Structure 1
Amino acid sequence: MLAGLRDIQRFTIAASDGDIGIIKDFLFDDRAWTIRYMYVDTHKWLPLGEKVLISPISLRDIDTEDEKIHVALSKQQVKDSPSIDEEKTVSREYEEILFSYLGYGYYWTGPGAWGEYAHPTALVNQQALEQANTNLQEHDKSSANHLRSIDELQGYDVIAGEETVGHVHDLILDTENWEVPMLIIDTHNWLPGGKKLLLAPKHIDDINWLEQRVHCTLPAEDIEHCPECDHDLLNDEGYKLKVKQALQTVPKS
C-alpha cells in the first residue's frame, strides 16, 4: 500500500494489549530512502509515558479505517525499552542496544535496505539475529546511520539548477517495505495553479540540512513534466503504472 506520511502521522500505535501512543514523527535513512522508525508519544497511555522509537520491524497490520498501526509489542515491552534523549540524534550505539533488547536482526549489516531481507518484519526471527551478529563482526561499527526527521525535511526548498521550484510537502511510503518511492513537491509559488508534483529519490542529488534545501538532478523545465500527485489514486494500479512510466521518462527536455 502507498500512503502519504502526513496521513499516517495521525495514526494511533496499538500494542498487543492496547493503544500506546500517537505517531509524532518519522526517522528516515537519507541514503536508502527508507523509514527506520516511528517516533511515538506515549504520555496519554503509559504511566510516565515519554516519546519512544518503534521500528516497522514490529509491524503487524495497518488499519486505515480505524487509523491504527498494530505492532507485535506489549505495553510493558514499550515501557521497558531503552530510553532516548530527545535532544540528541539517534546513534548507531543506541540502535544496537534497542535491537538487542527486542531481539531483532540488524538492518545495517546487509546489502539491502533491511540487511539481508526485502521487508523489515523478516528481521524478527532467530536466524536474522544470528546472521546480524555474524555480519557485525565484519561491519564498521563507527559508521553513521544517517537518520533524519521527516518533520524537519517537510518544507525544505527544492532547487532545480539555480531556481527554487517549490518545497517538500510530503513523502510517499510503501508499507510493504517501508521505503520511500516518491516525494511530493508543492510548486504553488512557482507554477500557476500550485500543483503538487511527484519526484523519485533518484532525482534528488543532495539534501543540504544546514541550508534547508533539496537539490534536484533535474533542470527547472523538466520539473514541469513530473506527474501530478493524486492521493485518492495512489493505490490505483492504472495510476501507479502511469506515474512509474512518467518518472522513468523524466527528463523530457
Structure 2
Amino acid sequence: MLAGLRDIQRFTIAATDGDIGIIKDFLFDDRAWTIRYMYVDTHKWLPLGEKVLISPISLREIDTDDEKIHVALSKQQVKESPSIDEEKTVSREYEEILFSYLGYGYYWTGPGAWGEYAHPTALVNQQALEQANSNLEEHDKSKANHLRSIDELQGYDVIAGGETVGHIHDLILDTDNWEVPMLTIDTHNWLPGGKKLLLAPKHIDDINWLEQRVHCTLSAKDVELCPECDHDLLNDADYKLKVKSALQSLPGA
C-alpha cells in the first residue's frame, strides 16, 4: 500500500495489549530512502510522557479505517525499552542496544535496505539476529546511520537548475517495505494553480541540511513535466501506471 506520511502521522500505535501513543514523526535513512522508525508520543500512557522509537520490524498490521498501526510488542516491552535523548541524534550505538533488547537482526549488516531481507518484519526472527551478529564484524560500527527527521525535511526548498521550484510537502511510503518511492513537492509559489507534483528519490541529487534545501537533478522545465499527486488514487492501478510512466520519461530515469 502507498500512503502519504502526513496521513499516517496521526495514527495511533497499538501494542498487543493496548494503545501506547500517537506517531509524532518519522526517522528516515536519507541514503536508502527508507523509514527506519516511528517516533511515538506516549504522554497519555506513560506518566513522564516519554517519546519512544518503534521500528517497522515490529509491524503486524496497518488499519487505515481505525487509523492504527498494530505492532508485535507489549506495553511492558515498550516501557522498558532503552531510553533515548530527544536532544541528540539516534546513534548506531543506540540502535545496537535497542535491537539487542528487542532481539532484532541488524538492518545495516546486509546489502539491501533491510540487510539480507526485502521486508523489515523478516528481521524479527532469531535466525536474522544470529546472521546479523555473525556479519557485524565485517561492517564499520562507526559508520553513520544517516537518520533524519521527516518533520525537519518537510518545508525544505527544492532547487532545480539553480531555481527554487517549490518545497517538500510530503513523502510517499510503501508499507510493504517501508521504502520511500516518491516525494511530493508543493509548487504553489512557483507554478500557477499550486500543483503538488511527484518526484522519485533518484531525481534527488543532494539534501543540504544546513541550508534546508533539496537539490534535484532535473531542470525547472523538467519539473513541470512531473506527474501531479492525487492521494486518493495512490493505490489505483491505472494511476500508478500513469505516474510510473511519467517519472520514467524524465531525464536520467
The answer to whether the superposition gives a TM-score over 0.5 is yes
Cα deviation code 1:30-89 (max 9, x no counterpart)? 000000000000010123330000000000000000000000000000000000000000
TM superposition shift of 1:252: 9.8
Q: TM-score, normalised by structure 2?
A: 0.99
Distance 2:132 2:251 in 1: 40
Q: Are the counterparts in 2 of residues 167 and 185 from structure 1 also a CA contact under 8 Å?
A: yes
TM superposition shift of 1:15: 0.2
Q: State percent identity of aligned pairs.
A: 91
Q: TM-score, normalised by structure 1?
A: 0.99
Distance 1:221 1:160 in 2: 9
Residue 38, structure 1, aligned to residue 38, structure 2: yes
Secondary structure, counterpart of 2:222 in structure 1: helix
Range with bigger deviation, 133-142 or 99-108: 133-142
Q: Are the counterparts in 2 of residues 2 and 172 from structure 1 also a CA contact under 8 Å?
A: yes
Q: Are the counterparts in 2 of residues 225 and 251 from structure 1 also a CA contact under 8 Å?
A: no
Q: Are the counterparts in 2 of residues 11 and 69 from structure 1 also a CA contact under 8 Å?
A: yes
Distance 1:251 1:196 in 2: 20
Q: Are the counterparts in 2 of residues 167 and 187 from structure 1 also a CA contact under 8 Å?
A: yes
Describe the shift of the 1:18–1:252 C-alpha distance in structure 2 as closer, same or farther (beyond 3 A). closer
CA RMSD between the two structures: 1.1
TM superposition shift of 1:187: 0.2
Q: Are the counterparts in 2 of residues 222 and 252 from structure 1 also a CA contact under 8 Å?
A: no
TM superposition shift of 1:186: 0.2
Secondary structure, counterpart of 1:113 in structure 2: coil
TM superposition shift of 1:161: 1.0
2:111 paired residue number: 111
1:208 paired residue number: 208
Distance 2:27 2:252 in 1: 33
Cα deviation code 1:82-120 (max 9, x no counterpart)? 000000000000000000000000000000000000000
Cα deviation code 1:149-183 (max 9, x no counterpart)? 00000000000011000000000000000000000
Runs in 1 of length 4+ with deviation above 2 angstroms?
Answer: 46-49
Q: Are the counterparts in 2 of residues 107 and 114 from structure 1 also a CA contact under 8 Å?
A: yes
Distance 2:17 2:251 in 1: 50
Distance 1:55 1:107 in 2: 11
Map residues 1-253 of structure 1 onto 2, 5 A cutoff. Answer: 1-251=1-251
Distance 2:245 2:141 in 1: 39
TM superposition shift of 1:197: 0.1
Describe the shift of the 1:102–1:252 C-alpha distance in structure 2 as closer, same or farther (beyond 3 A). closer
Secondary structure, counterpart of 1:46 in structure 2: coil
Q: Are the counterparts in 2 of residues 225 and 252 from structure 1 also a CA contact under 8 Å?
A: no
Describe the shift of the 1:252–1:120 C-alpha distance in structure 2 as closer, same or farther (beyond 3 A). closer
Which consecutive unaligned segments of at least 5 residues does structure 2 have? none
Secondary structure, counterpart of 2:138 in structure 1: coil
TM superposition shift of 1:198: 0.1
